[in-house]
């Protein structure tokens, strides 16, 4: 659906730790900014964990900080895959509408926060035929299964982010740098993009949101990516090959990207 929902649901919220930050409940029909809500005043929250971090923006009123919205701002890409976003009272507005929370929350950037999600697949043979599998990781923050994605660093090519995040989260290269050579140049092509745009991520706020490029890498013969020694690393606490199916409960809108892969590969979803 076009309506974001994970960032409006209390159960998926990263903002309920002490001190709890409660989102204002936003009913479906009040999500679009165009829907009138004269006294809309959600809590405003920027988590202390982002303050002063090298990967995060300063406060909007910080001296010398004048972000170029909807533009490539030095190394930081403040353009949205969704087209031009509005800026109201000096703050970028979530292109999918109200979330019930103002500020940046736990996200580093005001406006779009760009990520990349590698979708690595292989076949599993069964008596009834073959089943498509993908590499899933379990996230440390929410405990949910997800794609091994991560943030695009300033100036980093998306193809490099796809490779780096897979190495870090699904192969634990940070513990053993020698593992880097295991993937060779399989990520060099950048894969086949199956989704590009807004992510229904529970961290999203009215002024900061996740966007991604989800790209597909398939090992048809089963002797390349399919045979890698998976090991969870960095912000992943688990990793496993998982059968693609419509019943999967995954982080954010990741199952939506996998549905595109199922369609592309001609397998049942
Ligand atoms: C999601 O958050 C993206 O689809 C990507 O999987 C992930 C990036 O954030 P971190 O994994 O770095 O927290 O919205
Ligand atoms: Mg990561
Ligand atoms: Mg990650």
Give the whole-number percent of the chain exceeding pLDDT 70: 97
pLDDT in the model for residue 21? 75
Q: With a cut of 80, say whether residue 199 has pLDDT above it.
A: yes
Closest ligand by atom to 210 CA: 1
pLDDT in the model for residue 113? 98
CA 165 – ligand 3 centroid, Å? 7
CA 148 – ligand 3 centroid, Å? 6
Q: How far apart are CA 125 and CA 260, in angstroms?
A: 22
**Across all residues in the chain, what is the average pLDDT?**
94
Q: Is the CB of 148 under 6 A from ligand 1?
A: no
Reported confidence tier of residue 74, pLDDT bands at 50, 70, 90: very high
Q: Is the CB of 168 under 6 A from ligand 1?
A: no
Reported confidence tier of residue 14, pLDDT bands at 50, 70, 90: confident
In this structure, are residues 7 and 200 in contact, taking their beta carbons and an 8 Å threshold?
A: yes
257 CA closest ligand 1 atom index: 4
pTM above 0.90, yes or no: yes
| All residues with CB under 5 Å from ion ligand 3 | 150
Q: Is the CB of 116 under 6 A from ligand 1?
A: no
């Amino acid at each position: 659906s076009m309506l974001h929902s994970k960032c409006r649901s209390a159960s998926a919220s990263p903002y309920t730790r002490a001190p709890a930050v409660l989102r204002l409940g936003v009913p479906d029909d009040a999500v679009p900014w165009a829907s009138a809500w004269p006294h809309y005043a959600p809590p405003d929250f920027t988590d202390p964990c982002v303050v002063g971090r090298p990967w995060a923006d300063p406060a909007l009123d910080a001296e010398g900080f004048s972000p170029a919205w909807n533009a490539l701002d030095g190394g930081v890409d403040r353009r949205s895959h969704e087209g031009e976003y509005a800026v109201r009272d000096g703050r970028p507005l979530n292109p999918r509408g109200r979330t019930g929370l103002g500020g940046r929350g736990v996200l580093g950037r005001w406006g779009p926060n760009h990520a990349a999600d590698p979708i690595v697949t292989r076949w599993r043979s069964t008596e009834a035929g073959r089943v498509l599998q993908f590499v899933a990781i379990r996230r440390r923050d929410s405990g949910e299964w997800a794609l091994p994605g991560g943030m695009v660093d300033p100036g980093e090519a998306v193809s490099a982010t796809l490779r780096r995040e897979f190495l870090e989260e699904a192969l634990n290269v940070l513990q053993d740098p020698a593992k880097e050579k295991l993937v060779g140049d399989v990520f060099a092509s950048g894969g086949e993009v199956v989704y590009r745009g807004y992510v229904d991520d529970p961290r999203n706020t009215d002024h900061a949101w996740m966007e991604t490029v989800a790209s597909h890498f398939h090992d048809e013969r089963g002797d390349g990516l399919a045979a890698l020694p998976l090991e969870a690393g960095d912000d992943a606490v688990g990793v496993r090959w998982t059968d693609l199916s419509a019943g999967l409960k995954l982080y954010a809108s990741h199952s939506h990207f996998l549905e595109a892969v199922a369609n592309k590969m001609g397998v049942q979803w």
